[in-house]
Amino acid sequence: MAQPFTCPHCGAHDYSIVLSGADVAGATLREDFHWDSATGEYTSEGTIVLDSQSVESESAQAICSNCEQDVSTAVSQYEDQQAGGHA
């Protein structure tokens, strides 16, 4: 059984991948709107890609969900270890 990724900064296991300049084809997207009574307007935190046929990106960055540090190198190393069968 594989071990989860561990953030080298805070020890958390969850992270997000942020794609910049992404070109997404055949996608299903979701955007949630929440009423902000202080401003009297709906707000959105952005669009989420639920599914896609392909994604091409100029660059990507992995961000720890807990401490918000860049963990791109650590995630890449983790994925390489998982592909090689090493935990």
List, for residues 18-33, the tens digit of each pLDDT value. Answer: 988 889 899 998 999 9
List, for residues 24-72, the tens digit of each pLDDT value. Answer: 899 998 999 999 999 999 999 888 889 998 888 888 999 999 999 999 9
Q: For residue 75, what are the CA distances in angstroms to 14, 35, 65, 70, 84?
A: 10, 36, 13, 10, 14
Instruction: Clarify whether residues 4 and 41 are in a common domain.
Output: no
Q: For residue 9, what are the CA distances in angstroms to 30, 47, 59?
A: 31, 28, 22
Q: Which of 2, 9, 4 is nearest to 66 (CA)?
A: 9
Quick check: helix, strand or coil at residue 69? coil
Instruction: Clarify whether residues 47 and 86 are in a common domain.
Output: no
First to last CA, the chain: 8
Reported as a pLDDT band with limits 50, 70 and 90, residue 7 is very high
Q: Which residue has the tokens 């009423």?
A: 35
The larger pLDDT score, comparing residue 84 to residue 72, is at: 72
Instruction: Clarify whether residues 42 and 12 are in a common domain.
Output: no
Instruction: Clarify whether residues 30 and 51 are in a common domain.
Output: yes
**How many domains, in total, are found in the chain?**
2
Q: Which domain holds residue 9?
A: 1-17+67-87
